[in-house]
Amino acid sequence: MQQLRHKQPTATRREFLAGAAIFALATGLPVPAMAAAPSPRIALLLKTVAQIVIPRSDTPGAGDVGVGAFLSLAFAHGMEGAQGYDLWLDQELNRRAGRDFLALPPAQRVKILGQLDAEAFPAGPPPAVPSPWVAIKALILTGYYTSEAGASKELQYNLIPGRWDADIPLKPGARAYSSDWTAVEFG
């Protein structure tokens, strides 16, 4: 089973903040999880970004339902290979903003995140090395559509359908089932 063993190089928190996470992204080396709770700044950033991706409508947005906290958990545990991506996101958004992303007016934040998203999903075949944003976005969607509001208010959740109707009309505006496990798995 040696093929699946992952090396766990060590890094100090200072190195981390100096950009070890970005270096690790570039080299493909995994980095250790930061077990500590995110700083208030990072927590606010994650909640803000999640809410921009899935805003409030007639149902809550992603930031409203705790996706920020879910992202912190996901980054700490390396879900979607996204270990340490919160630090990358902070630096990348600040770089694009030319200053503190969170200090920008809301419309500016949406614009910058929209550009980041568009560059990560160009037309044509997906880039060989995906932007870290691809994993972050996947985690935002996972956090939202597996939350109670996302799964059962924005979409429909039915654990025990009780029957199989193979072929019925799709009514306009019908909401998908978050409990259609095969559909969720295969995208």
* Residues found near other proteins in the complex (CB under 8 A): 1-6, 33, 52-55, 57, 70, 73-74, 76-79, 110, 113-114, 117-118, 120-121, 126, 134, 137-138, 141-143, 145-148, 151-152, 154-155, 157, 159-170, 173-187
Q: 143, 71 in Cβ contact below 8 A?
A: yes
Residue 57, number of CB atoms within 10 A of its CB: 8
Min separation Cβ 92 and other proteins, Å: 15
Q: Specify whether the CB–CB gap between 22 and 88 falls below 8 A.
A: yes
Instruction: Supply the minimum distance, in Å, between the C-beta of residue 56 and other proteins.
Output: 9
- Nearest approach in angstroms of CB 14 to other proteins is 23
CB of 160 to other proteins, least distance (A): 5
Neighbours of 8 (CB within 10 A): 11
- For residue 100, give the amino acid letter: D
For other proteins, the closer of residues 20 and 151 by Cβ is 151
Closest distance of CB 171 from other proteins, Å: 9
The answer to whether the CB of 7 falls within 8 A of the CB of 29 is yes
Q: Which residues of 128-155 are buried (b: 16+ CB within 10 A; e: fewer)?
A: eeebbbbbbbbbbbbbbbebebbbbbbb
Alpha carbon separation from 93 to 31, 88, 97 (Å, rounded): 21, 8, 6
Residue closer to other proteins, measured from CB, 90 or 150: 150
Rank residues 18 and 124 by Cβ distance to other proteins and give the closer one.
Answer: 124
Please say which residue, 18 or 121, places its beta carbon nearer to other proteins. 121
Beta bridge partners of 156: 177
Nearer Cβ to other proteins (18/183)? 183
